[in-house]
Amino acid sequence: MKSLGSIRRDFAPWNDPNAKPYIQFDNVTKKFGDFTAVNNLSLTIFEREFFALLGASGCGKSTLLRMLAGFEEPTAGRILLDGQDLRGIPPYRRPVNMMFQSYALFPHMTVENNIAFGLKQDGMPKPEIAARVAEMLKLVKLEQFAKRKPHQLSGGQRQRVALARSVAKRPKVLLLDEPLGALDKKLREETQFELMDLQQSLGLTFVVVTHDQEEAMTMADRIAIIDKGEVMQVATPAEVYEAPGSRFVAGFVGNVNMFEGRIARGEAGSASIDAGNGITIRTDNAGNAAAGTAVTFAIRPEKIKVSSAKPAGAVNAIEGEVYDIAYLGDMTVYHVRLDDGQVVRASTMNAARITEDPLSWNDRAWVSFRPDAGVVLTR
Amino acid sequence: MNTTWSRFNITSIVLGFAFLYLPIVLLIVFSFNESKLVTVWGGFSTKWYVSLFHNQGLMDATWVTARVGVISATVATVLGTLAALTLTRYTRFKGRMLFSGMVFAPLVMPEVITGLSLLLLFVAVGLDRGFLTVTLAHITFTMCFVAVVVQSRLISFDRSLEEAAMDLGAPPVKTFFQITLPVIMPAIISGWMLAFTLSLDDLVIASFTSGPGATTLPMKIYSQVRLGVTPEINAACTILIAVVAVGVIVASLANKRREVQRQRDERAAQRG
């Protein structure tokens, strides 16, 4: 598959069989009483990678982070950092630092002293501490707030202090627990790019936990999608989106239309899928699924075209009725009810201000897509 | 909001305040009485305040009370804080229910019983009653109040602060002294003040556990009153009231100022 890689094209150690893993979760299980938070999970993260753990709340992603930081010990399995087994090493001796979801700024200390706290623990000489704190304050653009207490800062400023404090010690790995969760949307988008720049300029390995798929897609080199304590898929954002490995991943990341059906006829990757009610879907992405296999055909809304007339020469075109239209400014989302009752979601970029052939509620319409637009899922 | 004063509102507020403060006002007024008779007004005078400071017995009792109060409140604060930490942090040790019940039992235990049982204990172990035994008794009964105050603060304590400190390289003991203790310090100070006040005005337990040479102020006042109320006692009580009132007012003003300052800071921060 071409052009489904990292955005930083020269950075893809996961494709290099000789690359040395930096963080390894090796068959890790974590139980809290009867509840299994992490179930026999294995993961590999490389040096200087921006790695995201994505999942719904309670899926075990935060437990993974806390095990890496040393606040929890695995019930079984082991965690290696740069070849060293972390078992039994307390949090205050691990070369990793964490940025907490609540920021956990020390309320009785000034911004300066918050940032200096970790450096003082290492017994760094005073002039060096002062220099490092100044450098960190500059990095997060908070120079004039050095003497303030946390409660004298806005939410965005607190987030920056927390970030400065956690990178001040130059940890081997920075762990970020929902780093942008408490910020409003606009600030969150700005901060995403700042975090990426910071990671690049410091050359650190970042592991971020988030439930926000957009955040993970924007920032991460690779995403691990976690569900019920297990890894569903580890891949680059583009792969996760365009080539999801399972129905769960396809449904979890972004919007998707799914058609249940059986492979009717298949040869070398391309196949026809009988999706019932006379709907046949032709696809080039069937992999090696044999004829008769029950499959799900998944296709993203933006890859479906909606038109009032049947497009000439379309391989896949299904008729239905416009059921709902949502105008979002930059794009318009159509919900088309096919004649068998299934509702298909299609979105169109509003590239021009005025469109010819405007569709309206209850109009007859055709949805069409190319044979390479969707994926066939067997899991 | 309803701002008009109905007759009912005025009546109830007057009755309420009269019920609470009339006895105290009377006491204060009669402490400035010229006459030796407590119930007959004989003109304004401050002579009882002067004679108060020449009453060696009362002054000794005040000194004993102050020492007992400071020592017992301090020890009770240390022990109570430790108990509160155990109860909030180690939630699954064996016998936790029993321990928490036993820590809080003295809150509801009649003072007479606490006093009597302490007396029996001191007699049994052959401890001479005096300064030491009163102090020990006060530590026992004020400790649980400190534990309650500190525990309520610890329940709302954000544990991620401690995790952050450890994550940044501070071992547990250092984390406790550099992070946990400063953050819960206001609660510990209120606990100390509560313990001190309780020790200051305790009569029952002190009567059981004190001995010759360790008479506390409440005991002294009580015994003098039994020989007849003198305006001197009124003066002593007025001073006590003044000390407590000043303490309360200063504390609440400081609190209020801090709150206002904090709100102003937060508004300033929101603006950018």
For residue B178, being part of any structural domain is answered with no
Per-residue pLDDT at B253: 87
- The pTM of the full predicted model, rounded to 2 decimals, is 0.78
Per-residue pLDDT at A8: 59
Confidence of residue A116 (pLDDT cuts 50, 70, 90): very high
Radius of gyration of chain A (CA): 25
Which tokens go with B143? 């400790």
How many domains is chain B partitioned into structurally?
1
Per-residue pLDDT at B173: 92
Q: Alpha-carbon distance A370 to A299, whole Å?
A: 10
The DSSP call for residue A212 is -
Per-residue pLDDT at B3: 65
All residues of chain B having their beta carbon less than 8 Å from the beta carbon of residue A156 are none
Per-residue pLDDT at B1: 53
Per-residue pLDDT at A2: 44
Per-residue pLDDT at A3: 46
Q: Alpha-carbon distance A258 to A246, whole Å?
A: 12
Domain that holds residue B62: 35-158+187-255
For residue B117, being part of any structural domain is answered with yes
All residues of chain A having their beta carbon less than 8 Å from the beta carbon of residue B266 are 151-152
Do the Cβ atoms of A99 and A162 come closer than 8 Å? yes
For residue B191, being part of any structural domain is answered with yes
Of B168, B179, B268, nearest to A97 by CB-CB distance is B168
Per-residue pLDDT at B98: 84
User: What is the CATH classification number for the domain harbouring B42?
Assistant: 1.10.3720.10
Nearest to B216 by CA among B206, B204, B230: B206
Q: Please report the sign of the dihedral spanned by the C-alpha atoms of residue B78, residue B82, residue B83, residue B88.
A: positive
> Taking residues B142-165, what's their average pLDDT?
90
Higher pLDDT, A166 or B101: A166
Burial-class residue A337 by CB neighbours within 10 Å (0-12, 13-18, 19+): middle
> Taking residues A133-150, what's their average pLDDT?
89
> Given an 8 Å threshold on Cβ–Cβ distance, is B183 in contact with A107?
yes
Res B70 pLDDT > 70:
yes
> Given an 8 Å threshold on Cβ–Cβ distance, is A154 in contact with B265?
no
> Taking residues B89-114, what's their average pLDDT?
82
| pLDDT tens digits, one per residue of A187-219 | 888 888 888 888 888 888 999 999 988 888 888
Element (H, E) at A271: strand A270-274
> Taking residues A13-28, what's their average pLDDT?
86
Residues from B in contact with A at Cβ < 8 Å: 158, 160-161, 163-171, 174, 178-179, 182-183, 262, 265-266, 268-270, 272
For residue B7, being part of any structural domain is answered with no
> Given an 8 Å threshold on Cβ–Cβ distance, is A121 in contact with B174?
yes
Distance from CA of A66 to the nearest CA of B (A): 10
For residue B170, being part of any structural domain is answered with no
Res A122 pLDDT > 60:
yes
Distance from CA of B29 to the nearest CA of A (A): 46
Confidence of residue B174 (pLDDT cuts 50, 70, 90): very high
For residue B30, being part of any structural domain is answered with no
All residues of chain A having their beta carbon less than 8 Å from the beta carbon of residue B270 are 154
Burial-class residue B193 by CB neighbours within 10 Å (0-12, 13-18, 19+): middle
Element (H, E) at A84: strand A84-85
Q: Alpha-carbon distance A181 to A212, whole Å?
A: 8
Report in angstroms the alpha-carbon separations of A90 from A70, A202, B127.
6, 25, 47
3-state helix, strand, coil in chain B (%, to 5): 80, 0, 20
> Given an 8 Å threshold on Cβ–Cβ distance, is B167 in contact with A154?
no
Name the phi and psi angles at A287, rounded to 5.
65, -135
> Taking residues A7-35, what's their average pLDDT?
82
All residues of chain B having their beta carbon less than 8 Å from the beta carbon of residue A108 are 182-183
Q: Alpha-carbon distance B264 to B251, whole Å?
A: 20
Which tokens go with A297? 């055909």
Per-residue pLDDT at B167: 93
Of A90, A108, A169, nearest to B183 by CB-CB distance is A108
Confidence of residue B270 (pLDDT cuts 50, 70, 90): low
First to last CA, chain B: 34
> Taking residues B96-117, what's their average pLDDT?
85
Per-residue pLDDT at B80: 93
Of A101, A104, A121, nearest to B169 by CB-CB distance is A121
Domains and CATH numbers, chain A: 13-95+171-250 (3.40.50.300), 255-377 (2.40.50.140)
Res A1 pLDDT > 50:
no
Q: Alpha-carbon distance A247 to A297, whole Å?
A: 9
Mutate which of A121, A133, A141, A149 to disrupt the B interface (most B C-beta within 10 Å)? A121
For residue B21, being part of any structural domain is answered with no
Per-residue pLDDT at A356: 65
For residue B77, being part of any structural domain is answered with yes
Res B209 pLDDT > 80:
yes
> How high is the mean pLDDT of chain A?
86
Higher pLDDT, B259 or A233: A233
Per-residue pLDDT at A162: 92
Distance from CA of A39 to the nearest CA of B (A): 25
Give whichever of A9-18, A106-115, A291-300, B82-91 has the largest mean pLDDT.
A106-115
Higher pLDDT, A71 or B270: A71
Burial-class residue B243 by CB neighbours within 10 Å (0-12, 13-18, 19+): exposed
> Given an 8 Å threshold on Cβ–Cβ distance, is B168 in contact with A102?
no
Strand A270-274 to strand A280-283: parallel, antiparallel, or no bridges (unpaired)? antiparallel
Report in angstroms the alpha-carbon separations of A46 from A89, B41, B270.
21, 91, 39
Q: Which residues contact A184 (CB under 8 A, 6 or more apart)?
A: A155
Do the Cβ atoms of A135 and A212 come closer than 8 Å? no
> Taking residues B103-123, what's their average pLDDT?
88
Per-residue pLDDT at A161: 92
Do the Cβ atoms of A246 and A233 come closer than 8 Å? yes
Q: Alpha-carbon distance B260 to B258, whole Å?
A: 5
In which residue are the tokens 């329940």 written?
Answer: B155
Do the Cβ atoms of A307 and A366 come closer than 8 Å? yes
> Given an 8 Å threshold on Cβ–Cβ distance, is B160 in contact with A153?
no
> Given an 8 Å threshold on Cβ–Cβ distance, is A91 in contact with B163?
yes
Per-residue pLDDT at A6: 47
Per-residue pLDDT at A266: 63
Do the Cβ atoms of B211 and B128 come closer than 8 Å? yes
> Given an 8 Å threshold on Cβ–Cβ distance, is A91 in contact with B262?
no
Confidence of residue A7 (pLDDT cuts 50, 70, 90): low
> Given an 8 Å threshold on Cβ–Cβ distance, is B171 in contact with A97?
no
The predicted complex's ipTM stands at 0.80
What is the maximal distance between C-alpha atoms in chain B?
72
B174, closest residue in chain A (CA to CA): A121
> Given an 8 Å threshold on Cβ–Cβ distance, is B164 in contact with A100?
yes
| pLDDT tens digits, one per residue of A222-261 | 999 999 888 899 999 888 888 888 889 988 888 888 888 8
Per-residue pLDDT at B73: 93
Higher pLDDT, A355 or A7: A355
Strand A96-99 to strand A84-85: parallel, antiparallel, or no bridges (unpaired)? unpaired
* Percent share of chain A, pLDDT over 70: 96
A158, closest residue in chain B (CA to CA): B269
3-class secondary-structure state, position A232? strand
All residues of chain A having their beta carbon less than 8 Å from the beta carbon of residue B169 are 92-93, 118, 121-122, 169
Res A128 pLDDT > 50:
yes
Give the Cβ contact number of residue B54 at 10 Å. 9
> Given an 8 Å threshold on Cβ–Cβ distance, is B272 in contact with A154?
yes
B180, closest residue in chain A (CA to CA): A106
> Given an 8 Å threshold on Cβ–Cβ distance, is A92 in contact with B270?
no
